[in-house]
Amino acid sequence: MNAYLPGIATVALMYGALGLSLNLQVGRTGIINFGHIAFFGVGVYTTALLSLHGIPLWLSVPAAAVVGGLCALPLGWAAARLTSHYLAIVTIGFAEALRVILLNLEVTGGPSGLVGVPRPLGDAPLETYSMVWLFVAAGLLALTYGLVRLFTRGLLGLSLTGIHDDEPAAAMLGRSVAAYKTLVLAWGSMLAALTGAFYVHWIGYASTEQFDPRVTFYLWAGIVVGGASNAGAWLGSAAIAGLFEATRFLGDFGFTALSETQLASVRWIVIGLVLILTMRLRPQGLLPVRTRLSRAGASRSTAPTARERESADA
Amino acid sequence: MIQAVVNGTADGMLIGLMALGISLVYAVQKFPNVSQGALVTAGAYLTYLGQELTHRWYLAVALGLVLSVALGMAAYQVVIRPFVTAPLMTLMIVTIGLEFVLDYTIALGWGNSLRTYDFGLTGQTTVGGVYLTHAAVVTSAVALLAMAGTAVVLTRSRLGRDMRALSDDPALAQVARVSRQRTLLFTWGLVGLLAGLAGLFFGVKAQLTPTLGWHLLLPSFAAAILGGLGSFTGAILGGVLMGVGMEVFSLLLPTVYKPAVAFVVLTALLLARPRGLFGKAVRV
């Protein structure tokens, strides 16, 4: 088990970072993004391509983040013009289209992906390698947390909360909703691409299987269960990813009642049930956002629902 | 080129059937039903189950469709019903959950290997140099019939009247003693039937995989939006346009880019004409 644990934890922490950047859009601003994992994929392929062409790490990783942020601009443009569920469908379409293109282009290696991406410390013994990378992943999570906090502090953060709670009111108070949404999508996507860049240098190859559009729903399940606070988002995403990563090795420990493909199906059924049951039993998640209002004891749980119901009916 | 249009029309009819189901739920409940994909997959596999059990195509079709209707109603009764008054996003997340549960229960039960059933619709006819497979002809005919049938239900039956009332103004409908639960239950039965038909004919045309419905979701949403969400003639027409569009595009680009084409069309449409080609003006 000692050989597996650091690997599982590394993946979990990276998913935690992805959950944080998705939550910036979903939990803080109320942008329904079902295509977040695509930007992780942009990071994976950008840094893989760059480093395979001899670009050093210190340049390829930030470049991937920048490219990820830029790729989100068209979505931001769409986000400014579409209401939530239309945008949701566009984002999942974006993720699927990107996957299909990367899967079939010659530059990106087609279905076989890109192998031989440099792995820093790849020559070190496995124990050292996995322990160092565990700390790198923890650092990445901390960095993502810091960059999300940086973004949501002060007036900008208040404006985002305003857009989340009541978009017309925020617009009326002079907030350019379109600009803020674009900014949030670009920032969150940049962070997702950054995670992708780290991931590919850890695992050593790039393949479109790493970011099947459905993987975004791992993160959604994490945020839904964890709650829309930063802590809820990363803990939830990391817990789900860690749990699922761990079940991949059940076979190695003598659990053979289900084959690997059957286990994969069971994982997805669990994700589906988690989404449905959380919505039923605790729609705000385990660690919901604490606002000044909710801390003062005012009941927030009923008020927004009534308002959203109205807007849903309209 | 003409061949591509003909092939695309038949594919588009399937997409249109699926879009019709999406449009129905949207009309009555105002949310995009993601679980439509799984209902279609289930329709195909339930027909397959019928074929395995009875070895007669008509019994397989009957069993597949009856079970599809039951599944649609069960989906509503068990999963959707507690969320009827929930916000749109909640319903969307819940149906995504339902999509995964159904898809992967199918994957668990039947495995990922490809399955087929043969209803003897394998021949083809040549009309003026254009190949028409019999499967495509039957698919198109049934899709059109299904659309006509849905139209009759909507305009002539009590269920249809209640559905339109709920769609127009839920509060007023309830004042007029329209039972929301009952109407929604039967709406989901109808949606199950349409999904069952789409799944059935997908299975006639191609091999079954547990993700077949999931992969049809994007073009179907595009078709439903193209036709104007909530517009039923629009859904079928939107489906045909999507089918033909994707087929013609694949003359220019490799077939593998079909989903990308669907995405581009969808996005362009949403931005240019969010109410679809036939959509009615929306009350704000």
Listed by number, the residues of chain B in 6-25 with a beta carbon closer than 8 Å to a beta carbon of chain A are none
CATH of the domain at A148: 1.10.3470
Q: List chain B residues with pLDDT less than 50.
A: 281-284
- Tokens representing A51? 């480093």
Which residues in B lie closer than 8 A to residue A96 (C-beta atoms)?
A: 218, 259-260, 263
Which of A85, A88, A265 is closest, CB to CB, to B108? Answer: A265
Q: Cβ–Cβ contacts within 10 Å for residue A220, how many?
A: 26
Rounded Cα distance, B135 and B239, in Å: 17
Q: Does A129 touch chain B (CB under 8 A)?
A: no
The CA-atom distances, in angstroms, between A210 and each of A206, B48, B58, B239 are 8, 32, 43, 31
Widest CA span in chain A: 62
Q: How far is B86 from chain A (nearest CA, A)?
A: 7
Rounded Cα distance, A204 and B74, in Å: 46
Report the sign of the C-alpha dihedral through residues B161, B164, B168, B172, in that order. positive
Across the A/B interface, how many CB contacts are shorter than 8 Å? 136
Rounded Cα distance, B284 and B279, in Å: 14
Supply the pTM of this predicted model: 0.86
What are the respective helix, strand and coil percentages of chain A, to the nearest 5? 75, 0, 25
State whether residue B208 is helix, strand or coil: strand
Complete domains list, chain B, with CATH: 2-272 (1.10.3470)
Q: What residue has token string 């004409």?
A: B273
Listed by number, the residues of chain B in 102-161 with a beta carbon closer than 8 Å to a beta carbon of chain A are 102-105, 107-108, 111-112
**Residue B116 φ/ψ, nearest 5 degrees:** -140, 155
Q: Does B268 touch chain A (CB under 8 A)?
A: no
Structural domains of chain A, count? 1
**Residue A206 φ/ψ, nearest 5 degrees:** -115, 130
The CA-atom distances, in angstroms, between B270 and each of A263, B238, B275 are 38, 13, 8
Report the sign of the C-alpha dihedral through residues B17, A211, A239, B211, in that order. positive
Q: pLDDT tens for chain A, 314 residues: list them.
A: 466 888 899 999 999 999 999 999 988 888 889 999 999 999 999 999 999 998 898 899 999 999 999 999 988 888 877 877 788 888 888 888 888 888 888 888 888 889 888 888 878 888 888 889 999 999 999 999 999 998 888 778 878 888 888 888 888 877 788 888 899 999 999 999 999 999 999 999 999 888 888 888 889 999 999 998 999 999 999 999 998 888 887 777 777 777 888 888 998 999 999 999 999 998 888 888 876 555 554 444 444 444 444 444 43
Side-chain-side CA neighbours of A41 within 13 Å: the count stands at 28
Which of B101, B170, B274 is closest, CB to CB, to A313? Answer: B170
Runs of H (alpha helix) within chain B: 2-29, 36-54, 57-74, 88-110, 134-156, 158-168, 170-175, 180-205, 212-227, 232-252, 258-272
Q: What percentage of chain B carries pLDDT values higher than 70?
A: 95
Contact state of A272 with B92 under an 8 Å Cβ cutoff: no
Q: Smallest Cα–Cα separation from B46: which of B29, B63, B30, B69?
A: B63
Q: Estimate to the nearest angstrom the gap between the alpha carbon of A45 and the chain centroid.
A: 16
Which of A86, A101, A266 is closest, CB to CB, to B108? Answer: A266
ipTM of the complex as predicted:
0.87
- Tokens representing B268? 């362009």
Contact state of A100 with B101 under an 8 Å Cβ cutoff: no
Which of B87, B97, B225 is closest, CB to CB, to A275? Answer: B97
Q: Smallest Cα–Cα separation from A57: which of A135, A119, A15, A123?
A: A119
The CA-atom distances, in angstroms, between B134 and each of A197, B9, B123, B206 are 50, 13, 6, 13
Rounded Cα distance, B139 and B131, in Å: 15
Q: Does A290 touch chain B (CB under 8 A)?
A: no
Q: Smallest Cα–Cα separation from B25: which of B70, B88, B97, B102?
A: B88
Which residues in A lie closer than 8 A to residue B79 (C-beta atoms)?
A: 276
Q: How far is A201 from chain B (nearest CA, A)?
A: 28
Domain that holds residue A281: 5-313
